[in-house]
Amino acid sequence: MNAARYAVTMPEGPSVTRRVGVVLRALAGREPAGSTTTRLAASVGLPRPTVHRLLTALEAEGMVERDGATAAWHLGPECFLLGAAATARHAIAPVARSSVLRLAGETGESAFFSVRRGEETVCLLREDGSFPIRSHVLHEGIRFPLGVASAGLAILAFLPEGDRSAYLRSLPAPTPLPEGHSGAELEARIEETRRRGFAVNPGLIVPGSWGIGAAVFDRHGEPRWALSITGIEQRLAPPRQAELGALLMREAHVLSTRMAGPARS
């Protein structure tokens, strides 16, 4: 199963601004390999000529650039400069980096920090541990709908009940999410996550690649971020799962306390 196909959803409406936004987000989710025009068009559900015109216009502004050897598109230098300019206001990732490093060091697995963005989670940080077999489902910039990856399930499970119910009602029938993510299946995993305190994804995105996640709360007590780890089933299944879940929750509590300082955007 290709995890990238769940990374971006096309917003409603014909606005050029919306189309530019969804193309840039999709491209960010495919870094560092980049994407061809054809693959990018397929992933966002737009005609290839439309995506090509958008990319050509963005290239002229330095927002994207094209590799002459592979024909793959990448985010351009202007995206880096804009991100650097926004760092002072949105400096979340540097605060979380120490937690991600500790998780990778103590568990030996790949550790991540993700943020909620509307009805998706976006991976902001990744740090690989010492165990030689690694999962490549998550990387910086990739997006998943809430409830899919363990980070998104942890956030969804602890949203206010009204928000959580509204999201579940909004899922189309049948849902376009990966197998095992129907409304009823999600509700069951949400209940289990709330009971345990941490979320488990038992290889539902890529078979054999498991994830465990814990929500990180803001100063208002709402889940805005998540810490997670991924690894092969043999290392994340019980009985080690309880130990890893407790470690994640402990680190998430530490980070929630740090985030509960001055309001962050």
- Give tens-digit pLDDT for 43-76: 888 999 999 999 999 999 989 999 888 989 999 8
Choose among 211, 230, 229, 219: nearest CA to 255. 219
User: Is the domain of 69 the same as that of 46?
Assistant: yes
Same domain assignment for residues 112 and 186 = yes
Is there a domain that residue 247 lies in?
yes
pLDDT, position 255: 92
Check pLDDT > 70 for residue 156: yes
Assess whether 63 and 97 both reside in one domain.
no
The whole-number pLDDT of residue 260 equals 74
CATH of the domain at 37: 1.10.10.10
Q: What pLDDT does residue 239 have?
A: 92
Please indicate, yes or no, whether residues 77 and 105 belong to a single structural domain of this protein.
no
Pair (172, 231) in one structural domain: yes
If one compares 197 and 203, the residue with the highest pLDDT of the two is 197
The residue out of 52, 86, 120 marking a domain boundary is 86
| pLDDT of the residue at 6 | 44
Q: Is residue 265 one of the residues assigned to a domain?
A: no
Residues 52 and 165 reside in one and the same domain: no
Residue 116 and residue 212 in one domain: yes
Q: What is the pLDDT of residues 89-118, one digit of tens each?
A: 556 777 889 999 999 999 999 999 998 988
The answer, yes or no, to whether residue 169 has pLDDT greater than 70, is: yes
Shared-domain flag, residues 81 and 127: no
Confidence (pLDDT) at 172:
63
Is the pLDDT assigned to residue 191 strictly greater than 90? yes
10-19, 95-104, 129-138, 156-165 — which is least confidently predicted? 10-19
Same domain, residue pair 76 and 102? no
Domain match, 79 and 110 both: no
pTM for the structure as a whole: 0.69
The answer to the question of residue 70 being in a domain is yes
Cβ atoms of residues 16 and 51 within 8 Å: no
Q: Could you say which of 60, 86, 112 is where a domain stops?
A: 86
- Is 190 part of any domain? yes
Q: How does residue 2 score in pLDDT terms, banded at 50, 70 and 90? A: very low
Average pLDDT across the chain, whole number: 84
Task: State the pLDDT at residue 80.
Answer: 77
pLDDT > 50? residue 199: yes
Question: In 3D, which of 142, 114, 119 has the Cα closest to residue 43?
Answer: 142
Confirm whether 129 is domain-assigned.
Answer: yes
Full residue range of the structural domain in which residue 99 is found: 93-259
CATH code: domain of residue 133: 3.30.450.40
How many structural domains comprise the chain?
A: 2
Length of the chain: 265
